[in-house]
Amino acid sequence: MTSKITLQHSFAARARIAGRIRLTPLIGSPLLSARTDSDISLKLEQTQITGSFKLRGATNAILSLTDAERAMGVVGVSTGNHGRGLAYAAAQAGVRCIICMSELVPQNKVEGIKSYGAEVRIVGRSQDDAQLEVDRLVAEGMVMLPPFDHPNIIAGQSTVALEMLEQAPDMDTVLVPLSGGGLISGVAIVMKAVNPNIRVIGISMERGAAMYESLQAGKPILVEEQETLADSLGGGIGLDNAYTFEMTKNLVDDIVLVSEAEIAEAICHAYWQERQIIEGSGSVGIAALLAGKIDAPGRCVSLISGQNIDMALHKRLIDRENFDVATETNATGGPDA
C-alpha cells in the first residue's frame, strides 16, 4: 500500500514553498492556436529558478525534512535539472547537499551543479559507482531525494497545476512532458480533483519512452536508454516504482510520442515564433501540437518544463545548420533525470 497523494497535499506544498519559487507566466500562442484551430497557451515553467519545474518538488521535499534529517543533509546522483533544483533548494534552506557523479560527467555539468551551491563528489567511471557512494552516504544518515518517485516531490511538482488553473480556469486539455512521471502525477491529481473532464496528456519521445513502454507491459520494465534531443526525459521509471507508475496509469488520459525531427521543429518554433529558448524535453507538447498528434485540443495549455539546453546545440538547431536529427543530441552529456 502506498499512501495516497491528494489535492490537500498540493495546497500544503504550495503554502510550504510560497516565496521560494517563482510564479511563472502563462501566455497565449496566437500562432499555435491558428495552426491547430484551437486555443493554445504555454505555461512558461522554463522561466522557473534553476531553469525547470524540478525546483518545486526539491524545495517541498527539503522543507518537509525532519530536524534530524535536515542536520544530516541530502544526497543525489542527478547532474541534470533535478540536481540543479536540489542543489539550489538545499542551499536556500541551509541544508548540506552532496551530488555524486562519475568522472565521465562533462565539466560544464559539474560547474552547473556547483554554481547552485552543492558539494560535488566525483567517484569512479560509471553511474553505478556514483550510486555506491550515495548508498554509503545514506547508510551514514544522509537523505536520498529521488527525482520523481516520492510523495513530497510529486506534491511539489503538483503546485504548477494550481497556478495553471488560476491562469487558465477553463482549460480542456493539458499537455505534460513525461519521463518518470512525477510531474504528470502531480498535475493529474490536481486536474482530476478539480474537474475529471480536463484531459491530461503525457508527451514523451519515441526513443526510450520508459513510462509508455511500462504501461504497455502492465508493469515497470527496463527500457533501453537512447540518445535524444529530449535528454531530460531519458532514464527508467524504476523497477521498484512505488507511486508514479500507478498514478500515471490511473489518472492520465493518453500518452503521445514525438520523433526527434518533431522535437527539433518545436525548438525552432519556440525560438522564432514564440521568442522562447527551451530545451528538447520542454518542447514536446509544442512538437505534438505542430505534428497534429493532439486530437481536438480545445482550450489547451502546453507545459514548457525546462530551458537547460546546450546553447551551441540550440544555435545549430535554430540556424538549421548541418543538423542531422539521426545523430545529434544535447551535447551537455548523457541523459538525466
Ligand X SMILES: *Cc1c(COP(=O)(O)O)cnc(C)c1O
**Interface residues toward ligand X, by CB under 6 A:** 52, 54, 81, 147-148, 177-184, 232-233, 279, 281-282, 305-306, 337
CB of 156 to ligand X, least distance (A): 11
CB of 68 to ligand X, least distance (A): 28
Q: Which is nearer to ligand X, 232 or 276 (CB)?
A: 232
Alpha-carbon Rg for the chain in angstroms: 19
Secondary element (H or E) of residue 100: strand 97-101
Burial of 147 by CB count in 10 Å (0-12 exposed, 13-18 middle, 19+ buried)? buried
CB of 306 to ligand X, least distance (A): 3
Q: Which is nearer to ligand X, 232 or 332 (CB)?
A: 232
CB of 81 to ligand X, least distance (A): 3
Q: Which is nearer to ligand X, 130 or 175 (CB)?
A: 175
List, in order, residues 6 or more apart from 209 with CB less than 8 Å away.
178, 223, 233, 255, 257
Q: Which is nearer to ligand X, 39 or 146 (CB)?
A: 146
Helix (H, G, I), strand (E, B) or coil at 173: strand
Pairwise CA distance, residues 93 & 95, whole Å: 5
Q: Which is nearer to ligand X, 64 or 185 (CB)?
A: 185
CB of 1 to ligand X, least distance (A): 22
Residue entry with cell 552543492: 118
Pairwise CA distance, residues 177 & 306, whole Å: 10
